[in-house]
Copies of this chain bind each other. A is one copy, B any other.
Amino acid sequence: MAATIMIVEDEPAIQELISYNLRNTGYVVLCASSAEQAREMVNDVLPDLVLLDWMLPNMSGLEFAQKLRQGARTKAIPIIMLTARVDESDKVAGLEMGADDYITKPFSPRELVARIKAVLRRRLPEVSDEVVEVGGLKLDPTTHRVTVSDQESAAKSTEIVLGPTEFRLLHFLMTHTERVHTRSQLLDRVWGDHVFVEDRTVDVHIRRLRRALEDVGKDELVQTVRGAGYRFSTRCEVGAE
């Protein structure tokens, strides 16, 4: 539930101010005073969102943001830029580069929190680590494992092996069942906004997910809704005879 937010800001006072407010709101906060430091921290802990000061000592915020967008693990992390300047070209550069939002100093803590919430809201499945169990499938985010919860198939451990993307896809579907998701929606919520990927790529990952589920006979949970998208449903998909 508690999202982790990384602050990259060289001015200690502002860093403290933000940090205090975010912790107060219930976020886990990581602080870095330079882009270099931030880069190291990212290797250890992946934040759910980055607050990035535009003006940094050595490496500019822009540069750091680009690095984030390049790395496979980090490319989907939302970035909110903090900028003191009202320089238009900066905003433009930042947004083109893929920042999710920007906020100009001075800002009110309330506004900052509001923007953070807004950006996180349209994000990957709520950062919950709770075990999801639907339709005879059990997915555990902490252990990163998917198993069949109906026993019948076998007394053996019936673990389903998935690639990272298929795992996130299944996680999202299992936490948003019965509802039809368009390919675009899935890309936004499972891949992330700035990741530019063909719509049809979703098909392929759905296919991979289904193939994995076939082994345990659970593949009919992932259903195609023609002209609309895909759906995870425990109800039979064919009303036929």
Query: Which residues of chain A have a CB within 8 Å of any CB of chain B?
Result: 12-13, 16-17, 20, 88, 91-92, 95-96, 100-102, 106-111, 113-115, 118-119, 122, 142-144, 157-161, 163-164, 167, 178-180, 182, 184-185, 187-188, 193-194, 215, 225-228, 231, 233, 235-236, 238-240
Contacts and interface: CB of A to CB of B under 8 A. Distances in A.
B110 A143 contact: no
A110 B161 contact: no
A160 B237 CA distance: 10
Given A109-B194, A161-B238, 11 more contacts: A12-B92, A13-B92, A100-B106, A106-B119, A107-B122, A110-B188, A111-B184, A111-B188, A143-B233, A159-B235, A160-B239
A115 B105 CA distance: 10
Contacts of A227: 163-164, 167
**Count of this chain's copies in the oligomeric assembly:** 2
Nearest to A109: B193
Contact of A188 (B108, B182, B240): B108
B159 A239 contact: yes
A187 B239 contact: no
B239 A157 contact: yes
A95 B179 contact: no
Contacts of A114: 182, 184
Nearest to A226: B164
Nearest to A88: B12
Contacts of A228: 144, 164
Given A114-B184, A164-B226, A188-B110, A179 B142 contact: yes
